[in-house]
Amino acid sequence: MTMTTMMRPTASALLGTTTDGGAAPRPGESLPGAPLRTPVPLAAATTLTMAKAINAGLRQAMLDDPKVVLLGEDIGLLGGVFRVTSDLLAEFGARRVIDTPLAESAIIGTAVGLAYRGYRPVCEIQFDGFIFPGFDQIVSQVAKLHYRSQGRVSMPITIRVPFGGGIGAAEHHSESPEAYFTHTSGLRVIAVSNPQDAYGLIRQAIASDDPVLYFEPKRRYHVKGEVSPELGAPMERAQVVAAGTDVTLLCYGALVTTARDVALAASDDGVSIEVIDLRSLSPVDYETIEASVRKTGRLVITHEAARSGGLGGEIAAVVTERCFDYLEAAPVRVTGFDIPYPPAKLESHHLPDLDRILDGVDRALGRRR
């Protein structure tokens, strides 16, 4: 774009002029001195933990685009409390891996300003329960600026959030706040479940011109898996991770592993479960879900987040609206309770596990009420 900024003319010959005649850059305009970039792909397929897979994805995104910068608490020398940003400070320097003061609203709010100037900020929120001080900037600014500006200002901001329970942590360290964000227009919401997706989807999230909430299931950070330098399926698509014919089981994040175990256990009992990893929580890939439910006629949805007002209720409503004639039973939700996250010694009661999900499957099959 070459549109020049013009301040309003004034009677004054002095005021309102510029020393260089230039305007502040629009995003996408190249600036003098932007470094050349040499993509160094992840070397073929490697076995990585999810934490290291995200790290590799961040690194690749930073190599691909000098406008990608990271902001967060303890992300520099320490590499983040989960070490997801390990070694990136040494490689990219303090201007691109920014250890911030402890202020979540500022982490998000300064990312908005950086995005205004054409940057692609990636914010790390240290723990799920710490996102709320930044909630206003996310909901009122990040999510709305593209709409407010009629498409003139993009917010290509990725907000990484370790989420979910199962690690025996203190309060505010085990929450599942995703529904607040799926209820907010203007945001994309992703939850990853395995190292390969973690790698591909962090790169897709950063490349997206829309803001993305990227939820990382912290109890799976250290689970290993094969990771190839592929982006994988588009981030808005769900994936069938186990094919089946009797019941559709929807899950995301840490519970994908549990749901696959459920499918294995149920198969011993002669029940064929189709497990779908949602991946994208907003927008939800209803096409994939509907195709499965039309086949199975039964739907179970599981998440760690509280039931009321949760994603499961919305999906159940949509599937009921669109697949009513195919359903053999009412959709079943197996979720966390409507309670604040409980103390560590009680979290196993709150979190859906293999037995509770199997119980839900039985209800969907009409075996229990």
CB of 222 to other proteins, least distance (A): 32
Burial environment of residue 111 by CB neighbours within 10 A (0 to 12, 13 to 18, 19 or more): buried
Residue with smaller CB distance to other proteins, 51 or 284 = 284
Cβ proximity of 97 and 70 under 8 Å? yes
CB of 237 to other proteins, least distance (A): 10
CB of 291 to other proteins, least distance (A): 14
Token pair of 124, please? 């790390």
Cβ proximity of 80 and 86 under 8 Å? yes
Residue type, 33: G
Residue with smaller CB distance to other proteins, 168 or 283 = 283
Q: What angle do CA 276, 279, 282 make, to 5 degrees?
A: 115
CB of 168 to other proteins, least distance (A): 31
CB of 32 to other proteins, least distance (A): 8
Query: Hey, is 216 helix, strand or coil?
Result: strand
Token pair of 18, please? 């510029």
Residue with smaller CB distance to other proteins, 27 or 342 = 27
Indicate which residue of 146, 172, 173, 303 is catalytic: 173
Q: Buried (b) or exposed (e) across 37-67, using 16+ Cβ within 10 A?
A: eeeeebeeebebbbbbbbbbbbbbbbbbbbb
Block residue for tokens 């929580």? 281
Compute the distance between CA of residue 284 and CA of residue 312 in angstroms, rounded to an integer. 11
Compute the distance between CA of residue 259 and CA of residue 185 in angstroms, rounded to an integer. 29
Compute the distance between CA of residue 250 and CA of residue 238 in angstroms, rounded to an integer. 10
CB of 340 to other proteins, least distance (A): 23
Residue with smaller CB distance to other proteins, 38 or 185 = 185
Residue with smaller CB distance to other proteins, 50 or 111 = 111
Residue with smaller CB distance to other proteins, 286 or 326 = 286
Among 151, 139, 79, 77, smallest CA distance to 108 is for 139
Cβ proximity of 156 and 225 under 8 Å? no
CB of 31 to other proteins, least distance (A): 5
Q: How many residues would you count in the chain? A: 369
CA distances (Å), origin 135, targets 31, 52, 129, 176, 309: 32, 28, 11, 14, 18
Residue with smaller CB distance to other proteins, 179 or 364 = 179
Q: In the annotation, is 146 catalytic?
A: no
Catalytic residues: 173
